Structure formats: structure tokens, C-alpha cells
């Protein structure tokens, strides 16, 4: 029997990629705000706890929850961030607790440390001294980044208090067309579709109860350290944006 994985925000860019890629291994359920006539898709407003609980009551047993839902724009207004990325996030973890979902993969963001860009990070990383690591203090670059930091804190809270395992992925740049060459920053921050799929699958399967990891391909000039993802999750990125320009 396949395990059941629920993907919130399943019809977004990342959700659509994962839904297609993981369907052969997992029974995929989707959840989003839009009303869509799609098999195994549920409509709900994640900021409405009562509505959300009524929807979860119809889903059956879920082994892993991949939480992507929320406003995906780093310049989104505070009111939307508060509703969708903070209240909605907290509600999703409450559902994980109430419905005994043992594991959450949370789509955090590189914006949790966005203010390091252009500034030398801490130099405690002897192997990669110019890279930002998960040991560096948070430096969110706006309300969106701060909401992702809050999400990581809630993930830790629910693990410590309720034993809900969480893998938080500070995702880099995922493009629908999977082409980072159109913007110079993306040459360093790109997470290819292939590497995204591998990273999420490793996050589902790894024998790690809680962790925070950067999600980026093996790009020349990348400035996020993925050594803990390689060591603890077994993530080995296959792609490098620089190779696309050869």
C-alpha cells in the first residue's frame, strides 16, 4: 500500500512539480483555495480553522504533509502574510496534531536569511567560509521572510511538544520554466526541478526527526551551505546553473 502524502498549495508551481513526480510512489492528495474539479483535490481556506478541520475530516489517514500553501510573493502585503503564511501555517500544524500526521515537510525560504546577501556571513564554517549556513542567525529581509522564520519556530514547537517530525527546507529559486539563465542572481540561487524533487523525497524518507536545510542546486557561486542536507538527508544535487551557459 502506498503512503498518503497531502500537498497544500498543490496547484502552485512547486506543488504541481511535486504532485507529478511523487505520484508513482505516494497516494497524493492536494489542497488549495481554488475550486477545481480534480481527483483527490480538496478546497479549503487554511486561515479558517473550522473550515480546514471539516476538510481534513474527509481525507482519511495521512502519513506526510508537504506544506507549500501561503502567499508565495516576498513583497506581499502584511495583511496577506499574516493571514496565509502565519495564521494558515499555525492552522496546518494544528491539523497535523489533531489528525496524528507524523511528519511535515515545510517549505521555508531563503528569505529567512535574505539580509545576509551582499554581507559576509559568520565565519564559523571552516569548510565553506563564504556561505550562509543554518547556524547563522536569522536575518529576514521582510515580512515574508519573518513569516518563514515563524514557520520554522512552529515546526520546532510542535516537534518538541507533540512529536510531529518536521523538515524545514529553505528553498532557493524554482522557476516554472526551469531556466535560471534569465536573471544573474538565479544563476547562484536556482533549485532545479530535478533537485527539488530529490530534496523533498529525501526529506520525506530521511531518518531525521527535525531539521532546517537550504534547498539549492550545486551552482557555481552559490552562497548557501548544503553540507548538512548532504550529510543528514543524503541530498546530492545533480544540476549546476553554470553548465547551462556552456
Which CATH number characterizes residue 82's domain?
Answer: 3.40.50.720
d(Cα 214, Cα 102) in Å, to the nearest integer? 22
**Over the chain, what is the mean pLDDT?**
94
* pLDDT (mean) for 121-138: 73
d(CA 53, CA 47): 11
Average pLDDT in the 158-179 region?
97
**pLDDT, average across residues 37-42:** 94
Q: What is the CA radius of gyration of the chain?
A: 17
pLDDT for position 119? 66
Residue 192 pLDDT level (bands cut at 50, 70, 90): very high
Average pLDDT over residues 174-194: 96
The number of folded domains in the chain is 1
Per the model's pLDDT, the better-predicted residue between 168 and 122 turns out to be 168
pTM for the model stands at: 0.95
Q: How far apart are the first and last CA of the chain?
A: 44
Residue 34 — φ and ψ, nearest 5°? -75, 150
Q: What is the mean pLDDT of residues 138-155?
A: 97
Domain that holds residue 203: 3-245
* Half-sphere exposure at residue 8, Cβ-oriented, CA atoms within 13 angstroms: 31
Per the listing, cell 542567525 goes with 137
pLDDT digits (tens, 9 = 90+) for 84-126: 999 999 999 999 999 999 999 999 999 999 998 866 555 445 5
CA-nearest of 244, 207, 232 to 217 is: 244
| DSSP SS3 for 61 | coil
Q: Which three cell numbers stand for residue 40?
A: 483527490
Report percent pLDDT > 70 for the chain.
Answer: 95
**CA contacts within 13 A on the Cβ side of 83:** 10
Catalytically annotated residues: 144
Give the number of other CB atoms < 10 A from CB of residue 138: 16
Amino acid at each position: 500500500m502506498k503512503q498518503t502524502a497531502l500537498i497544500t498549495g498543490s496547484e502552485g508551481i512547486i506543488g504541481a512539480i511535486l504532485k507529478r513526480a511523487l505520484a508513482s510512489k505516494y497516494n497524493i492528495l492536494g489542497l488549495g483555495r481554488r475550486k477545481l474539479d480534480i481527483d483527490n483535490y480538496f478546497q479549503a481556506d487554511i486561515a479558517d480553522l473550522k473550515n480546514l478541520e471539516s476538510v481534513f475530516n474527509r481525507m482519511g489517514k495521512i502519513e506526510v504533509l508537504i506544506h507549500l500553501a501561503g502567499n508565495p510573493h516576498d513583497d506581499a502585503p502584511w495583511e496577506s502574510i499574516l493571514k496565509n503564511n502565519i495564521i494558515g501555517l499555525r492552522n496546518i500544524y494544528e491539523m497535523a496534531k489533531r489528525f496524528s500526521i507524523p511528519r511535515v515537510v515545510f517549505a521555508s525560504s531563503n528569505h529567512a536569511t535574505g539580509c545576509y546577501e551582499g554581507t559576509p556571513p559568520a565565519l564559523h564554517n571552516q569548510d565553506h567560509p563564504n556561505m550562509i549556513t543554518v547556524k547563522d542567525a536569522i536575518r529576514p529581509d521582510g515580512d515574508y521572510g519573518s513569516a518563514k522564520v515563524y514557520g520554522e519556530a512552529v515546526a520546532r514547537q510542535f516537534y518538541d511538544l507533540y512529536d510531529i517530525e518536521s523538515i524545514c527546507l529553505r528553498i532557493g529559486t524554482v522557476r516554472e520554466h526551469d531556466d535560471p539563465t534569465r536573471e544573474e542572481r538565479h544563476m547562484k540561487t536556482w533549485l532545479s526541478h530535478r533537485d527539488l524533487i530529490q530534496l523533498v523525497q529525501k526529506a520525506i524518507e530521511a531518518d531525521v526527526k527535525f531539521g532546517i536545510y537550504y534547498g539549492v542546486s550545486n551552482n557555481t557561486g552559490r552562497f548557501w551551505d548544503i553540507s548538512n542536507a548532504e550529510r543528514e538527508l543524503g541530498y546530492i544535487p545533480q544540476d549546476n546553473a553554470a553548465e547551462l551557459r556552456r
